Amino acid sequence: MAGDKGLSIGRAGLLGLGVGAPLVVGTQLWPKVESHPLLAVGLLFAYEAVLAVLAFVSAVSKELENRLAKRVADGTERLLLGRLTRYERRYRRYLAVRHSAGGVKGLTIQGARNPRLEDVFVDVSLRPSPLHQARNVTLADAEQEVPDGERRSLQDILDHPVLRPLVVIGAPGTGKTTLLEHTTVVYARRRERRRAKRWLPVFVTLRDHVQQIVGDGVAGVGLTMADVARLTLSAAALGDAPAGWFEDHLENGRCVVLLDGLDEVADPHTRQRLVRWAETQAARYPDNRWVLTTRPQGYDAAPMDGAEVLVVRRFTPDQIRRFVHGWYGAVERLSGSGNTGAAAYASAADLIDRLRAQPSLYDLSSNPLLLTMLCNVHRYLGALPGTRAELYGQICQVLLWRRHQAKGLWEDADAGPTRETVLRELAYGMMVHHTRSLPVGGPLATDLLLPALARELPGVSADAFLTSVARTGLLVEREPGQFSFAHQTFQEYLAASHIHRNGMSHLLKQRISDAWWRESILLWSAVNPPVQIIEACLELDTADALGLALDCYDEAQEKPHELGQRLEQLRLEALQSPADSPRRRMMTGATVARHLRQVVWLADGVLVSALPVDQDVYRLFTDAHPEFRPEGYEWERGPARSQDANTSYGTTFLGIPPGAPEALVRWVNDVLDGSAIFRLPTWDEACDPAMQPLLPPACSLWSQPPRDWSNRAPVCWAPEGVSHPWSVSLERVYERAVNGTLAIEDFDRSTGFPYQHTDPQFHDLLTGTAREVYSHGVPFDPVITFPSINISSSQALIRPSSPELLIELLTSLPDLVAEQARRLFGGHEPSSARGDRRLANSIAALGAEMVARGVGAEPEAADLLRVAAIALADRSGGIEVEATCRDIALGITTLQDRADGIIPAREVVLLVRA
């Protein structure tokens, strides 16, 4: 009523101003109105217009005032309700408790008292990745080489400005849900800090709210993120949130929204609608942080528009160590036994030592899910099996029944081995049908699983059996009603075990040409004499079959000597085939792969080949790249052994020249055809203490250059105490310089250089350079000159003194001398500076020609150039010119000593898995 009355009064006032005021003014000034009617009418219209504008502004202000007052009132009400009810505190406490008590998702084998999340959590970290690469990650995927600085935690990414949603992609078992749960706990417990915003976490398991979100098929039918946030709390004893509480936090950009498990929604069209809904909500509340997790399969069909893709990374050795210690510490504390700290440390250290002794287990232990399985095997068996097949068998048994039987968790203890029997038959059937997925109600389950259950476990339904095994972690429900083995290797192992136990080896002989069966054949060969399989491979006589025969022999525990000799002979014969033949290519790849199979751990998850490139591999390489074939090299056979390590070597190839390492890496990756990717070690990896025992005595290693070098060509790294094969000491330069003065001591300006060269132009270069050395008219004496140069013997070259580097130094010298003269003298260059420029030009010209001819072929020119470089360093006085002249003298001396055989060629290549 008061508002209406006020409105009426306002309208009456406007009417009075609009009509009454002009009437009064017109009456008082009527004579003037009569004399100027047009002006009077114009002023009247202007007055009415101004009045209308003022009336409109007043109305808008009043409306804004009402709206602002309502918003302030609503906000104040929510703030007071939130404070009075302490809802946010209770909400954060609920999230912290709920998401920290669940242990590790998918692993319920630890029993009724699971370790808390914070006790075992190790941040796997993330790396940016293009979508086409992220979609190919697998459970134990090989780590791709990642630039430094790109290994980041999700929390670190969220605490910095994020301009678009994040999609975290990882294979099953890589810890995506665990990562989001830990993030929820961290932000739920975080207090306000100056440099870190106190985000309000909103955790949503998408599969639990599919129907509410997609409704009748139209994505987001009126359902906002705030509505879904309230739905996540419907079963919690928190009471209803204050009206508009979630809306207020979302609209003001205070939330980190964590959407978990897009891949757990089976229907692809429903997944697309969920993604569209998520895009809509991210656009509606753009100032919040948005994270979506999914497996790679299926995401590329419905990617989130504008999102940044992050791939979950593998555990590094340090992370494996921290996880194992955390896991054992938590389990021992829950066991209630005394002296838990010492027992946990001892057990964890024992497992880590065993993993380090078996680098082949790295692909399993770098995955959080599979590492947890390894921890269980080690804890309940006290050791890790010695072979791959035994390890997989023990993991399966521990997951299925041994641990449960020991704890008395199953009423029927004998059910465990029976369930393993059913799973073996199931795995074999899935291998026969070339499938990794088993729909519960599909014909495959009916044909494969029901007969085995009726025979072994009568009365148990397929759904109940699969669900019970999934609780152990051996099977996973990748999508609702879609089961598969947690790792493909378990399916392959159980199928091989089924064949072994039922004497069905003849079936494997029929499948040696089927790549799908390759791993099962190898696992079968690990526990059976593989003679029949190898004979069948040799009879088939294809490139792939010969490769499988070699691998079966390597996998077998019992290796008949005569069969090994026969395979080696076939390998050597295949390597004599034409270079482009399939047999030659296959055996080349097999030879390289076998040589690189044994690996050693370095820091941060780096796997390096335990054996340097040997003569066999390098000879195959030079067959493809003859430009790197050494002249007159005598290829040898037979083992060599390092005196400083327990590692056995084949005949390591020594003296790999500059340029060859890069070409060798490309060739290795080409012949392996993507089965593995290798690279040269970085400079830091070469310095790793674990690298040095792999090198033969007194050998150096080709590596990538230090990070701060602009030239990225490979360099030679030498261990402490080993002379660098591409550098010499300055004392050696001095020794050569003293002897080199004999080359010019009889120099005569009229006759020219004392040694007449067969090439007149080259003789002129020698004469001109010698003349410039004596341009001051003072005989050159290295005994006096050398100590005056401001350099020390500790400044030896790290980069190889290759001909390419020497040319680079020679080419830059004249410009350095000219720049120094401009800096010192400006436009008034003295004659001595002009002489220095002439000498630098002579050194550059003679040096380029000498390198082209070969340093070893022109010893007099090398002697003269070394003396000339030292003379120029003595005259110039500039640090940069001195350093370049020093490096030229070092380079010439190094190349001379190598050409003369004084420096032995002892460079090797160790390849690192990328």
Q: Residue 468's pLDDT is what? A: 79
- Summarize pLDDT for 455-501 with one digit per residue, the tens: 888 888 888 888 878 877 788 776 677 888 876 778 989 999 999 99
Q: What are phi and psi of 799, to 5 degrees?
A: -70, 145
Q: Residue 910's pLDDT is what? A: 93
At 492, the amino acid letter reads: E
584 Cβ neighbours under 8 A, 6+ residues apart: 574, 575, 577, 578
Q: What is the share, in percent, of the chain residues with pLDDT greater than 70?
A: 75
Cβ atoms of 294 and 262 closer than 8 Å: yes
Q: Residue 635's pLDDT is what? A: 57
- Summarize pLDDT for 617-675 with one digit per residue, the tens: 998 999 889 888 876 665 554 333 333 333 333 488 988 888 899 999 999 988 876 55
- Summarize pLDDT for 509-553 with one digit per residue, the tens: 888 888 778 889 989 998 888 888 888 988 887 767 887 888 888
Q: What are phi and psi of 904, to 5 degrees?
A: -70, 145
607 Cβ neighbours under 8 A, 6+ residues apart: 359, 362, 599, 600, 601, 912, 913
At 343, the amino acid letter reads: A
- Summarize pLDDT for 286-295 with one digit per residue, the tens: 989 999 998 7
- Report the range out of 222-231, 298-307, 735-744 with the highest average pLDDT: 222-231
Domains of the chain: 2-82 (no CATH), 90-314 (3.40.50.300), 319-327+354-383+396-502+511-519 (no CATH), 575-717 (no CATH), 730-907 (no CATH)
pLDDT surpassing 50 at residue 138: no
How many beta carbons lie within 10 A of that of residue 776, not counting itself? Answer: 13
Window from 51-65, 250-264, 551-565, 581-595 with minimum mean pLDDT:
51-65
- Summarize pLDDT for 755-802 with one digit per residue, the tens: 666 677 787 888 788 777 776 554 455 555 555 444 443 334 444 467
- Summarize pLDDT for 55-78 with one digit per residue, the tens: 777 777 777 777 776 666 555 655
Strand extents, DSSP E, 710-814: 715-717
Q: Residue 641's pLDDT is what? A: 32
- Summarize pLDDT for 742-765 with one digit per residue, the tens: 555 555 554 555 566 667 778 788
Hey, what are 507's tokens? 């079936």
pLDDT surpassing 60 at residue 270: yes
Q: How far apart are CA 583 and CA 546, in angstroms?
A: 8
| DSSP per position, 361-390 | GHHHHTSHHHHHHHHHHHHHHSS--SSHHH
pLDDT surpassing 90 at residue 823: no
Q: Residue 139's pLDDT is what? A: 39
Which of the pair, 254 or 31, is modelled with greater confidence? 254
Q: Which helix (H) or strand (E) holds 601?
A: strand 599-601
- Summarize pLDDT for 5-40 with one digit per residue, the tens: 555 555 566 666 666 667 777 677 777 767 777 777
Looking only at the bridges linking them, the beta strands covering 438-439 and 475-479 are: unpaired
Q: Residue 78's pLDDT is what? A: 52
pTM of the model: 0.53
Q: Which of 605, 474, 424 is nearest to 109 (CA)?
A: 474
User: What average pLDDT does range 877-892 have in this prediction?
Assistant: 83
Q: How far apart are CA 879 and CA 399, in angstroms?
A: 69
Adjacent-strand bridge partners of 202: 257
Q: Residue 106's pLDDT is what? A: 36
Q: Residue 116's pLDDT is what? A: 73
- Summarize pLDDT for 668-710 with one digit per residue, the tens: 988 876 556 789 999 888 888 778 888 888 888 999 988 877 7
Cβ atoms of 168 and 124 closer than 8 Å: no
pLDDT surpassing 50 at residue 140: no
Q: How far apart are CA 396 and CA 377, in angstroms?
A: 9
Q: Residue 337's pLDDT is what? A: 62
Q: Residue 282's pLDDT is what? A: 92
Hey, what are 729's tokens? 């000491």
Q: Which helix (H) or strand (E) holds 624?
A: helix 615-624
User: What average pLDDT does range 405-425 have in this prediction?
Assistant: 68
Q: How far apart are CA 506 and CA 320, in angstroms?
A: 41
Q: Residue 442's pLDDT is what? A: 81
Strand extents, DSSP E, 780-842: none
